[in-house]
Structure 1
Amino acid sequence: MTVSTAWQALRKPIRKAVFPVAGMGTRFLPATKAIPKEMLPIIDRPLIQYAVDEAREAGIEQLIFVTGRGKTAIVEHFDTAFELERTLSDRGKDLSILDPTRILPGNLVTVRQQVPMGLGHAIWCARAIVGDEPFAIFLPDELMIGTPGCMKEMVDAYNEVGGNLISVLEVPEEEVSSYGVIAPGARVSDKLTEVTGLVEKPKRENAPSNLIISGRYILQPEVMRTLEGQEKGAGGEIQLTDAMARMIGSQPFHAVTFTGRRFDCGSKAGFVEATLALALERPDMADDVRAIMRRLLAQ
């Protein structure tokens, strides 16, 4: 393969996205005993719907859900609900509210992660469906709100530079020890930075930057082969960060600084924050929610 051919191979269009949704959601028990955490609603849309909508905006066609036991509700959410739709139609109700839940036949694929062995292992479980194409990864716990969406910004950047990309956000220096952090290289543009290394939860004084990895990725299919032989890392699990770090230097690797907002919906406080923030942006709710907040704060 010539250099030119290899470069073009690293710029194939992004058509597929992997959603690792096999986690047990133990931080939200007992709510998640029978309901997947990805189906918990932020106002009136389940968390997974926000990620799927973001993927569609970015032009992604095939959605790959890596699931586990008790996760069938996620797939059913994107299925056709004949009884519900017939009932709504008979009552003269508008069915357009269900449009985002409809996925074309064949565009949703599921694969099972039988044993919880970490994010890297979950992504590896989708290797046969990803094949030899670059693909996106969405961590639904990370709710990314912006116009355009985070993945749309990343796909636009990918169309410029190809290779591998991760989304990052700037945080105060005192917070870096809680996240994966990039070691930045050359600045390509205001939002695009070369990545020369990845450090997981560094001490503040040792952090190479204050740019944290924020739950969106575009990776080349070679990462699957790296994960194939990946040894267990932090927590005794196969870590995606470790696999990405091994690829740096052999392929282009960049970070896209997201210009919108991130909510950590894997934590209860972050979940509540996201609910309030999005409610305050809705004309049908904002005034009522502000009044509720004032009343509660006055008590």
Structure 2
Amino acid sequence: MLRIHFTAEDLARTRVATSPWPFAEALFATRLLSRRDGRGIFDGWRRLVRRRLSPHTRLLGQLYPGQGPVLDLFTVVGPNSSLEASVERLLSAPRTQLRHELAGLNRGDLPTRATDLAAGDPAALTELAAAIREVDAVAVGPSQHAIAAHLDAVNAVRGRDLCTGGVEQLLTGLHHSVVWRSPVLHISDEPNKAHDYHLKGQGLIAIPSLFCWPSPRYMCNSLDEAAPGLLFYPAVDTLSDFADAWAPPGRGPRVLQALLGRTRAAVLETAADAATTSEIARRLDISLPSASQHATALRDAGLLTSRRTGPAVHHTLTRLGRELLEGRPAEQA
């Protein structure tokens, strides 16, 4: 449980982000690549991005694992609408602040390269910056305009909440895990732990994120008491939400849904990891007969192959099914 304490000054200074933040999206995308939840929503994206990233992003992945604390470069850099401006701020950030954030991770599995970062090694910092640029180009860049439009739309809704219902309506509507009990914002992220943060009159900036998952993340600059708190919250709940926001033009989930229908497209995505009928039903929250019906239709269309092993039927993609899912043209015979 995360508890964020507000004063009257904090409530007066709480606001929504003015625009998406590509730098934060690249960091959250790195973390999401290592997670295993949200499979029905993010699996297709994960497969595409993992194949395209180079080994040079390994350091960034070690600093942003799927579980546990992550390096707070968010407050080191500060909110900025441009990726390059954020990266430049990172490269010129005070080494004492970066060293402070690395020490605060308190993790025993940090890579040895993290020691170089803490020491202010320019080569290590350049390596980190290059990895952030690569993740942005591969994981975010192909759909940057659609992502920006989606996050702007989410921001518009939150802005309307703020205008019509005040800060209370804004905070209550951020995410299903968020509960407002004045003057404290409660976030159910780690039920067995409790963390308390005081905004100290500087307020809060609510920032929607396509890749922040599955619950909001709070970041504060412990070295600058004049800096506002940053609360990132998930901007997607369903496969449809994510498909609308992340799809290269003319291909990807939205095109697949238009061709096959939303549920059948989701079945095809789920089968990319070789799933049984029961697993498809469970992951997509549909009935077993419905999962079987959709798998049969995809198999009849030559997009799936099915094999029975005992009581279970295992489904995998055919070559045509994988090319359709990935948006690649089938090779000519």
Q: Name the structure where strand makes up a greater proportion of residues.
A: 1
Q: State the TM-score, normalized to the length of structure 1.
A: 0.30
Larger radius of gyration: 2
